[in-house]
Chain A
């Protein structure tokens, strides 16, 4: 191609023939450009359909096929006998598929009439409909009873876009009894979705473990979702079902818990605030671990209501705290058998006597005993819970000699257990005090710690472990999973002879003239050994005032049978005003349940009649009373995403 240079001075005359030539040449140029465009188009098309074919084929397929995840059934959590602590029940649900909805306001109004939806629920459905789109179903109501479900089902022809569905939801048959142990499930939060990016989390009806074992074993319990593949149009209209892959339920987890005992212990704690733990002395398996009061984990499954949340949160008995593992208390006199071991290890002869005049003078301070016990040896000092004996001996050996034995017996220790994280408290000694307060250990500190007061603080679980180790002389480790390999626990590094005085003392506490004599078992040939404890909450004076919060804690550690220990445990009743009065009777009934259920249940029935019904009945009555006095929910703060994550200590 040649550009024509303008030559104004000598312009050639344009003739008809030349014009024809110009036309031919330029037609060639235009035609050539058109051919080039044609070749470019052919090349482009070949590139898209051959080189990129795989990618676009995939995109077309993902357009065409709509994948609906079917939430997997969550694995069961069962007790040592296979009884369900957490299972799944069929839940009847009604969903709306926005695309198929016609005349939305009329349908929603009709639906709210059929399902008895309140204004709050209707509002939520409308908000979800505004935000949602396409074929993704929106939940209208779940956990429907058959009657309401049937009411919707028979009216389906008038309710376009409404889909009644059967799904599974987590169910805790014994409700509050296992709340702290198992935890609960709930819908995935935005943070949880951001962390995992699992589309399953957005599927209606899918729950993740939020607390306790449900959270710890979430991965195993979750299972694999099923999938329903369907061909859909761009507007989400279903063309045909392609195939359905069923879900694979999560693994079952078997615990060492005895479901019946757990439920009994929880009910027996009754209206008190406290914890009860029972261990299998041979394997260390935890037979029961309850903390009361508790919440109903079933309430959390669909998101707890504001009012119920407020009720739990405002309760001074702190139902959201797992007191068995996270509550810390001064153990009081329950540590005396353990101290007896430490004294013998330091050369104290159990037959050596101390004369109790009602107290012990150290420097200018007088440390009181609960009575005037006169001449008393180690066994009887445990039986009578004589402070003077332990003050005297504790002062002689010093607490730095006692603290290692306390730790060996499980106090201040954290155990390898799943679920709720434990708080391990304090077993003080001089090094600890210097580190913590920069002060020297004093004689008074030793006296206080020796009788389980002062700086010493332990969890109920640690007390139960201490009882088990006292009973067996073995290094019992608590465990919660049944399938864990069991090897017989090694003996503790304490002369087995030292245990005799401690165990004899504990036997006298319950079975002779000791502080726990009222809780002697009524079962032939089975004796329970134990030790009561009454721990002051504040100051040094005994608090039995009318203010619940300043009352003494009641504690009790025990094992049975005394001659061939099978079960060991601890009961802590917050502000129970004394171990003998509040804790030991609970322990007695729990052990009785292990040997004679009918006897224990009969005693429980009469107690529950006095308390005003079973645990669930009382919880429901409180809730409805609260609802009655609260006119609206406007001023009640919404519950946080994970209510029990930061449980506060008392």
Chain B
């Protein structure tokens, strides 16, 4: 850090580098959204920047919340979100359709989004409380199982496969970092692989179709495989340096579906090429490195697990979205953080960032040994 220019106290109090990184990514994202709207700040680019500013302030505010509060809040937060999920389910059952959000009048909340950090916090809290000696016992496992399985089941009912997996990945990562026996993960991996056919048969028709078409997108180039095919065409036709800003044809002529949300990366790659893609990957790599360094430096066990789990949660968004866009994963409807247009996911990601910042702040204030 350049402490020669900025006084150390200010540098510690305000994470310049992180802010610069996020701002750069969001600005790049709004450029892409500006182009996706056909060269117009509305309806997406301007809203994207404004939303980010609000959520950035929110993240700073969250970062001032002491780490002990987060610990205290972890379980109530989890409980509240779980209730919200139940509420959504019940509303859906009454109205006779599937519903994913609660309308609170001034804002529409999607409880499943909040469940991702909530599960991570709840498990971090649980393993933080757990006496070190109990980590390899049964009592370290079943409460975690319940905390992950309950929300997963509710989200699967919606049905929202992507979010359910995201919740599971967050929870499993915390358990893994907490030191649960390795054989559990290896065993689960093997069992999971064996259970794939059974799980597959439990999926909804459209979900099964998405997976099958993901295996062979050209089998249905005008149907469900259309998204993946067009996305690959956009990325592939961009080449190394892209077609140039505002020159994408796939997005501007509407061949690329969801070019401003889930497939925003393809919109970007068509105009900015491989270079734009690598730059974005590098930016995300810096973000995750920051997350892991915070986790590694912090003295509290809760902080470590929470920071690691939340980093994994953000990583999962990025990885699944990019894999989907490049035809390596089925179309699951997960946006790309900081680039895709959409409030809910940005709120979740900035919530995660805010909590990690709060953990970082606690470490620095306590004169963390690894700072």
A residues apposed to B, CB below 8 Å: 3-4, 6, 11, 13-16, 18-20, 22-24, 26-27, 29-31, 34-35, 37-38, 40-42, 44-46, 48-50, 52-53, 55-57, 59-61, 63-64, 231-235, 239
Contacts and interface: CB of A to CB of B under 8 A. Distances in A.
Contacts of A234: 253-255
B301 A19 contact: yes
Interface stretch (B53-61, B130-138, B153-161): B130-138
Interface of A is mostly: helix
B122 to A, nearest CB: 18
B323 A41 contact: yes
Contacts of A53: 236-237, 239-240
B249 A48 contact: no
A233 B253 contact: yes
Considering the complex of A and B, which 4 residue pairs feature the smallest CB-CB distances, nearest first? A56-B236, A60-B237, A14-B132, A234-B254
A257 B312 CA distance: 87
Interface of B: 132-133, 135-136, 173, 176-179, 181-183, 186, 230, 232-240, 249-250, 253-255, 269-270, 273-274, 277-278, 281, 284-285, 288, 292, 295-296, 301, 304-305, 308, 312, 315, 319, 322-323, 326-328
A3 B183 contact: yes
Given A53-B239, A60-B233, A3 B186 contact: yes
A11 B136 contact: yes
B356 to A, nearest CB: 14
Given A6-B181, A30-B177, A50 B292 contact: no
A27 B281 contact: no
A239 B301 CA distance: 59
16 contacts: A6-B183, A16-B132, A18-B132, A19-B179, A20-B304, A41-B319, A42-B278, A44-B326, A48-B232, A49-B235, A49-B274, A53-B239, A60-B270, A63-B249, A63-B253, A233-B254
Given A16-B301, A42-B281, A44-B326, 14 more contacts: A6-B136, A15-B132, A23-B179, A27-B292, A30-B176, A44-B328, A45-B235, A48-B235, A49-B239, A49-B273, A49-B277, A50-B239, A56-B235, A234-B253
Nearest to A41: B322
Contacts of B136: 6, 11, 14
Contact of A231 (B177, B253, B305): B253
A41 B177 contact: no
B179 A14 contact: yes
B234 A27 contact: no
A208 to B, nearest CB: 29
B7 to A, nearest CB: 31
Contact of B179 (A22, A46, A56, A57): A22
Given A14-B179, A49-B236, A60 B249 contact: yes
A34 B311 CA distance: 10
A38 B308 CA distance: 17
Contacts of A13: 132-133
A38 B235 contact: no
Given A50-B240, A53-B236, A30 B132 contact: no
Contacts of B177: 23, 26-27, 30
A441 B132 CA distance: 121
Nearest to B284: A38
Contact of A37 (B182, B239, B308, B319): B319
A19 B135 contact: yes
Contacts of B255: 60, 63-64, 233-234
Contacts of A16: 132, 301
Residue among A20, A42, A45 having the largest count of chain B Cβ atoms under 10 Å? A45
